[in-house]
Amino acid sequence: MTALILALVAGAVVGLALGGLGGGGGVLAVPALIYLLHVTPAEATTAGLVIVSLTSVTALTGHARDGNVAWPTGLLFALAGIVPAVIAGAAATRLPETALTVAFAVIAALAALR
């Protein structure tokens, strides 16, 4: 299977997860990028952020149109996450790829257990 087809299939799965569940795209996108498309962990996390952001905005429009968005809560949550995201993004560029992959796996496993 070519990289393009793998990327399209993986992207469709991520889009379905985000659109249907409202989350979980990064948990699917990052491993798909690393193991299917052989992207480095640092590049995969960055691409995952772009993928999830764009897909989330797309899904948001439908939910907003239906009146299912708690805007004050969502905006407050987003604002609270901006500074930690910038700090973590800067730190991720300085960590070994193995450490990033292990940290991602631990967080995904904890989320799955929860």
Q: What is the pLDDT of residue 1?
A: 67
Q: For 9-59, how does the pLDDT look when each residue is reduced to its tens digit (9 = 90+)?
A: 988 887 787 767 766 677 888 888 999 899 988 888 888 888 888 877 888
- How many domains does the structure of the chain reveal? 1
What would the DSSP string read from start to end of 37-54? S---HHHHHHHHHHHHHH
Please tell me the distance from the alpha carbon of residue 55 to that of residue 109, in angstroms, as a whole number. Answer: 23
Question: Would residue 70 be called left, alpha or beta, if left means φ above 0 and alpha means ψ between -120 and 50 degrees?
Answer: beta
Q: For 86-108, how does the pLDDT look when each residue is reduced to its tens digit (9 = 90+)?
A: 898 888 888 898 998 898 889 88
State pTM to two decimals.
0.69
Domain that holds residue 97: 3-113
